[in-house]
Each structure stands twice: as C-alpha cells, then as structure tokens.
Amino acid sequence: MSEEKSLNFIEELIENDLKSGKYEMLVTRFPPEPNGYLHIGHAKAICLNFGLTQKYGGYTNLRFDDTNPVTEKTEYVNSQQEDIQWLGFQWKNELFASDYFGQLHAYAVKLIEKNLAYVDDSTAEEIAAQKGTPTEPGVPNQYRERSIAENLDLFAKMKNGAFPDGACTLRAKIDMASPNMLMRDPIIYRIKHAHHHRTGDTWCIYPMYDFAHGQSDSIEQITHSICTLEYVAHRELYDWFIEKLEIFPSKQYEFARLNLTYTVMSKRKLLQLVNEKLVSGWDDPRMPTISGLRRRGYTPESIREFCERIGIAKRENLIELSLLEFCIREDLNKKASRVMAVLDPIKLVITNYEGDGEVLIGENNPEAEDKGGTREIPFGRELWIEREDFMEEPAKKWFRLAPGAMVRLKFAYIVKCDNFIKDEHGNVTEVHCSYFPESKSGSDTSGINVKGTIHWVSTAHAKTAEVRLYDRLFTVESPDAEEGDFKDYLNPGSMQVLDKVYIEPYLATASLENRYQFIRKGYFCVDKDSTADKPIFNRVVSLKDSWKG
C-alpha cells in the first residue's frame, strides 16, 4: 500500500489539480473513431483513461468520435465496445459525437454571430494554396470579409442542402499568419451528402474533428482530455474554441503513443492487411489488434500488465515485443495446465514393455497454488515423441535421446535408447528403447539420474489436432521506418500450420477460452475454427528456450 510507485506526468498533474481543488472529481473519456478495430496501442490509452478514474475516483465515458460518416460503421462500434469490456473496463456513459450535432451547429452559429467564422467558397486546392507553409504565412481571401448576415444565410443554406459537396466550407476566423498552421482559419464544417450510421440523412454538413472533439469534451465536463502526441499542435485550437464559445474548460494533455517492434500500428495499414487478405481478418492471431491478441490466446490481465509496464511519457518509443511475450508467459505460467502434445512425431518403441492398459497420473500445474488438480494419462509400448528430441550424433551437452543415452519420459519411466530406424531418405522414423520398471515417476527406486525429460503421447490413445504456430508478422523491427512499402517486409513464415499433431486424450475436451502449456513447447489455446472432430490450437507464445545447440 505505502509502496510509493513513482507517478507518471499525467498522474502528477491530476494529483495537483485534485489537491488544489480545481476539480472535485476526475472525468476522462476514451474517444475512438468507429472506423476500424482497436489495437494494442488503443489498449494503452484505454488502460490509461479508465485506470486513472479507477485510481483517483470519478468516471470514464466511452464516446465514439463519429463525425465522418463515410468511413464509420456500426460494425466497428460493436467490436470496439466488446474489446474494451473484454479488457476489463466499463464506461459510465456511452456517447457519440453525433449526439451533439445539434449543439455543435449552434456553436458554429454563435461563432458566426461573433464574427469569428465565415463561409468560404474556395476549392480545397485554393484553401491549401492560401494556407502557406510551416515557414511562410498564409494569406486571407476575399470571403474572409463577408458580413455576419451573409455568413448566417450561407451557413443555413449549407445546412439545408442548397449546395453540393465541396461547394463551400465554414471556417473559423483566427489568424492566417499564425506560426501554428492549424490556427490559419481551420475548416470547421464541410458539406457531405452522406448517410451517417446514427443520424441517417438528417445532416448534410458535418463538423471537423477540431470543432467536435473539444466541445464534446466540454459538454461532458471532461476534466482531463488525454490524447496522443500528434494532437499537441491542436491544443491551441482546442483552447481557442472553448474560450470563444465560453464553455466548460476541459484541458487536453498528450502522451506518446505505443509502438511495438515487428508490427505496424496504424489503422490504415492494418485495414490494408485485412482488405488485401494478407491476414485472415481483423482478428487474425498475428494482428496487434485486441481481437487478434484475444484469438491468439492473450489474456486481458497480461495486456493490462503490459500497459502498466510500458509506462506513460512524452518521448517516442519502440517497445520490444519480448516484453509483451514476457507478460503473457508470466500470466499463463500461473494459469495453464501442463499437457502433452507431439508436434513433429517419430515413434518410440519400448521393446521390453509388456504392460497393458497402464494409466499414469499427471499433475496439471505444479506452479499453481492448488496444483491445478491431476488427470489420467494412458501409457503404452509405443509412443509418439518429438523428432527433435532424438539426435543420431548428439551435440555436446545434449540431454535428450541419442544412441545409448537415457532420458525420463515425463510422468512415466526412464528409457534407454538401444537402436533406431531410418527410412530410405535417411530420416529417423523409429527409436527403440528399453525401460526401467522401477523408475516410475513418483515411486522411482532405480537410483538412475538423467538430465533430460521429454514429453510423449501413447500412439494407441493419441488424438490428432491441427496446430498453428505463429511468429512475428514482419521481419524488421520497424516496418514503418523502412524504405518502400511496409508490406514488403511481411514475414512469410509468420504462420505455420501443422495438420497432424498428436495430443493426449485429455485435450479432446478442450474448449474455447481454455489455455494450456504443451510441455516444453509453449502455451496454446483453442481456436474458434475448431470443429468437433478436429480441434485446432493456436500457439500463444513459445516457452523461453535457453538451449543453444
């Protein structure tokens, strides 16, 4: 409790604001645009906004920033809600910027009446040309001096559908020479004869982000409007509208967005991967989307822990994927049952084994407090073992099977390799061993010590499954920073499908949401593509492997 964890800069601001009595309660919001699926970068913002109000008291609204009807869909609204709740957060009010279209329109009229906005008939190209550049001031045009009455009339006509798309815009009258280009008379309303996912055809003019976001915050009395660094330059405008409109002074604060190695984070690029079928969909287990991570087998706890560990600051950052992997391993190590599956099988025959119907007992998770219970594992004379657990000519420090070498079969007996068989291609197909009856797991009186333990599945009892192994989506740490098209750097080996994997019978009961550790192979979960006769497992993440062969 008293463990003083250092505060990030936003927490410091908040503590000061609360202490000084500036606000009595914290109100934040998470404001996605419903034009794509949420990703791990959004998770950072979600954890921040909801986490802050959980910590300091107050609440967080979910507000969809739906001011551009042409890109927004209800499908995205639904997926975004599901993802936020799956992460473990609940919003106080569910709101839409489109709820405020009437109010926003009134604000625009108010600005016109204060001679702080005007209707501009220029084309997009003309406006861009007049805007200047970062190093040269912009120049005003003739429309800037229209009368208030004329502007009111024109704006009403815009609203009433008298003009086609692009005919004119409403602009704030600020300063065409401002060093901040966003202050050079920004467009605040544009004409779009488009169907809106919520307001339908009620409107044909829609407010721009800058004329909707801050005012929406203000209407909701958001105290701390937290966004990413690309909005720093917008803050001046944000404050200007609130001041001129004389409304509740919400304040904007910016933090650095998350970048993760070996992936891309922009919605545009993720959409491209989906549209061009380079991945199976928004929830492809290789995607950094929340739905992708969920399908991959990540837990909400592990993602929240990750967001906690990466911290909040204002510098550009590139987080190593290994940290995300650490977080899910840490979580699953405590939760996942240890089971056996053989991914790349060869046969092991115990030549001196005469047993019949022997059943062994496996402890499900020695790392869990209650050990996770136990289960029965059928044993037999013939087993499937991993191809890579046998070496014809063992490397130095090799702990596993090799001619003459001994190894423990997990939960079972110690065996010694006596012989092996190869096919015509020189591939090992069978390993022949003898076992030591007195070496049975749990009641070993053999006195034999072995360094290696390997997993196995009885050939007579094995079920088959498909296993999908995933690797990083891109071959380079920062696809965005590379020359050329980011898609040139897709990892062709990012998914490997193993269609005949042998699993122990216990796993036949696995259901969606279940996560397992396949002993020595990694953590796996059941994929939604599974059918009654063919379970499909996704590899969430491999185990750490310190073997350097």
Catalytic-labelled residue, pool 267, 295, 400, 408? 267
- Distance from C-alpha of 496 to C-alpha of 513, rounded to nearest angstrom: 22
56 touching RNA, by CB under 7 A: no
Q: Are 539 and 467 in contact (CB under 8 A)?
A: yes
Q: Is 29 in the site for RNA (CB under 7 A)?
A: no
Helix (H) or strand (E) holding 96: strand 94-96
Q: Round to whole Å and give the CA distance between 153 and 145.
A: 15
Q: Is residue 257 annotated as part of the catalytic site, yes or no?
A: yes
Region binding RNA by CB under 7 A among candidate stretches 105-113, 178-186, 286-294, 375-383: 178-186
Cβ neighbors of 443 (< 8 A, separation 6 or more) are none
> What is the distance between the alpha carbons of residues 269 and 419, in angstroms, rounded to a whole number?
54
Whether 424 is catalytic: no
- Give, as ranges, the residues between 255 and 274 that touch RNA (CB under 7 A): 256
Q: Note the residue count of the chain.
A: 549
Q: Which is nearer to RNA, 150 or 363 (CB)?
A: 363
Does the footprint of RNA cover residue 253 (CB under 7 A)?
no
Applying CB under 7 A, the span of 18-26, 42-50, 229-237, 344-352 interacting with RNA comes to: 229-237
Beta strand 58-64 with 26-30: parallel, antiparallel or unpaired?
parallel
| E strand map for 305-381 | 337-339, 341-342, 345-350, 359-363, 374-378
Which three-class secondary structure state does DSSP give residue 242?
A: helix
Here's the x/- map for RNA, 57-86, by CB under 7 A: it reads as --------x-xx--x---------------
Cα angle, residue 303 at apex, residues 302 and 306 outer, rounded to 5°: 90
Query: Does residue number 478 form part of the binding site for RNA (CB under 7 A)?
Result: no
* Amino acid identity for residue 35 in this structure: N
Contacting RNA (CB under 7 A), which of 147, 317, 427, 429?
Answer: 317
Q: How far, in Å, are 2, 346, 501 from residue 464 at the CA level? A: 52, 14, 5
124 near RNA, rule: CB under 7 A: yes
Q: Please select the residue that binds RNA; options are 45, 84, 172, 191, rule is CB under 7 A.
A: 191
Out of 139, 162, 233, 460, the only residue in the binding site for RNA (CB under 7 A) is: 233
Active site residue 375: no
Site string for RNA, 331-360 (x = CB under 7 A): --x----x----------------------
179 in contact with RNA (CB under 7 A): yes
- In terms of CB distance, is 182 or 417 closer to RNA? 182
Only one of the segments 165-173, 217-225, 425-433, 496-504 lies at the binding site for RNA (rule: CB under 7 A); that segment is 165-173
Whether the CB-CB separation of 487 and 265 falls below 8 Å is answered with no
Cβ closest to RNA, residue 135 vs residue 511? 135
Cβ proximity to RNA, 280 vs 335, nearer residue:
335
Collapsing DSSP states into helix, strand and coil, what is residue 104?
helix
